[in-house]
Structure 1
Amino acid sequence: MPEIKVVLPKYLQIAADLRDRILRGDLAPGAEVDSERKIAADWKVARPTATKALEALRREGLIESRQGSGTRVRDVRAHRRAAHRYHRYRAQGAQYAPDESMEILRTGIVAAPDHVAEALGLEQPAEAMTRRRLISRVNLGPAEIATSWWPASLADNAPRLLEPVSLGGIGSVRYVESVTGRIASYAKDRVAARLATSDEADLLGLPASGAAVLVYRHSVFGTDDQIIEYAESVYPPDMWSVEQEYPIEA
């Protein structure tokens, strides 16, 4: 019989909020984390609950406490994914964190690869708009190659996607929403590992051959369940990417 799922305990909800802020870059390495007293007051919970939330993050290696300097964020080697950028835009009004920089590598209208055409619902042969970026992080270097795709028919309504300059921090999904009136409702990620191409290896500073990368294929859908944007992000190895917290029930 189906059952209503149990809500996560309060301390895990608090830990999840802090974890998200750390991973999306709102709390940079070395930044001081709110005290147990402040967390308890902000979340309206007992202080032991705040203590358990911080302890959960310590066990994950996200924060550390030092005598005389409080609790601070550790230098975490983790991929920043589309979900982190959406959350950061909602909370901060910008999708890139202060420790990130973005370089436009390529824009244009090109022949759509088969898997891109399939994702966008285009019949081959088809053309698609593309926008490729290299995202780097302080003390880490090149951290992500992000390539977004749209039907070429969108070019007249969204000409800024073809300009090799920043969209001003709003991101391509928000820009497409603003010029089309469509609203992004949900997204789907598919993840796979593969060997880097020679071009990817060069951009990410990896060995010329035999280097593994993690690839996220990211589809954004509107309220009409039709695709708004298809994107691929390529990440270097030796960084963790997927995290999930859940109760284990008997």
Structure 2
Amino acid sequence: MSNTANGAPKFRQIADQIRARILSGELRPGDEIPSERAVAADYNVSRPTATKALMLLRELGLVHSIQGSGTFVADLAVNRRANERYTKARTSGRIYADGTRAEIVAAEVIPEAPEHVARALQLEAGSAAIRRRRITWEGERRAETSTSWFNAELAGTAPRLLTKERIRSGTLAYVEEQTGRLGTYARDRTCARTAGADAEALGLTDEAAPVLVVEHIVYDQHDRPIEFAEAVYPSDRWSYEQRYDLT
């Protein structure tokens, strides 16, 4: 079914592929994961290898097993990262999974972009920029507030950036379509601070509550920034997991 030809053990490759489907929203909480027998057949591996793959997913807290019923996606209290949303958008044409929605609360041109925004977008100091601010909901809970910034020159070629209408495929996919500039890589910087002015948008009662902030810059094929985004998350809605080799 899937190509597992890379350097990692096959059980980890299988687990990583299923994990990607979960974190992209393709597999939702409560969805059944293929059985060990099905995984072994789909990936052309032995039953012990399939068992280890599902065991790894359980260890990561992504799935849980019910005796006599099967293995199911767990109810995750984690936020999906940008690369997982891009995967969702490019495979399904929708950036948000079922049960998740975004409310656009601002879409406007700011005559003078904040200094750190101008620096991230490689604009001259005092330049205008498009600001698009949203609140992301998971069910009835506010899971994230984020602001995307773009060069104000895009106002003519990508006018939907200045409306409060949702762009189902995501702002990046829309800008790519309108301009021909393709997002080829991104850089993230993560830090923590108190909620401050973001407390109300996140439904927090204490402005001193801790939040996580991710600054995200997408670059095109010519190494020029397309989008600078600032996302803020409540402390209990974020989990970061990364695998890397030690040599």
- Normalising to structure 1: TM-score of the pair? 0.92
Give the equivalent residue in structure 2 for 1:118: 119
Aligned-pair CA distance for 1:247: 4.0
Give the equivalent residue in structure 2 for 1:191: 190
Aligned length, in residue pairs: 241
Give the equivalent residue in structure 2 for 1:221: 219
Give the equivalent residue in structure 2 for 1:136: 137
2:28 match: secondary structure: coil
In the aligned structure 1, how far is the partner of 2:138 from the partner of 2:222? Answer: 36
Matching residue's letter, 1:95: I
Deviates more, 1:205-214 or 1:119-128: 205-214
Matching residue's letter, 2:172: V
Q: Does 1:180 align with 2:176?
A: no
Deviations 1:93-146 (A, max 9, x none): 21100010111110100121110000011111111001111110026x000112
Give the equivalent residue in structure 2 for 1:33: 33
Kept after mapping to 2: 8 A contact 1:23/1:78: no
Matching residue's letter, 2:116: H
Give the equivalent residue in structure 2 for 1:47: 47
Give the equivalent residue in structure 2 for 1:76: 76
Kept after mapping to 1: 8 A contact 2:196/2:208: no
Give the equivalent residue in structure 1 for 2:61: 61
Matching residue's letter, 1:245: R
Aligned-pair CA distance for 1:149: 0.6
Deviations 1:219-241 (A, max 9, x none): 11111111111111111112333
How many percent identity over aligned positions?
Answer: 48
Aligned-pair CA distance for 1:90: 2.3
**Structure 1 portions without partners, runs of 5+:** 1-5
Kept after mapping to 2: 8 A contact 1:25/1:99: no
Matching residue's letter, 1:157: T
**Structure 2 portions without partners, runs of 5+:** 1-5
Kept after mapping to 2: 8 A contact 1:22/1:73: yes
Change beyond 3 A, Cα 1:91–1:45: farther
Matching residue's letter, 2:184: S
Give the equivalent residue in structure 1 for 2:3: none
Aligned-pair CA distance for 1:22: 1.6
1:155 match: secondary structure: helix
Give the equivalent residue in structure 2 for 1:245: 243
Aligned-pair CA distance for 1:165: 0.4
Aligned-pair CA distance for 1:13: 1.1
Give the equivalent residue in structure 2 for 1:203: 201
The 5 Å alignment of 1:86-97 reads 86-97=86-97
Deviations 1:35-92 (A, max 9, x none): 1122122222222111100000111221111122211111111111111101112222
In the aligned structure 1, how far is the partner of 2:14 from the partner of 2:229? Answer: 31
In the aligned structure 1, how far is the partner of 2:9 from the partner of 2:211? Answer: 35
- Which 4+ runs in 1 deviate beyond 4 A? none
Aligned-pair CA distance for 1:187: 0.8
Give the equivalent residue in structure 2 for 1:21: 21
Aligned-pair CA distance for 1:27: 1.5
In the aligned structure 2, how far is the partner of 1:153 from the partner of 1:118? Answer: 16
1:203 match: secondary structure: coil
Give the equivalent residue in structure 2 for 1:3: none
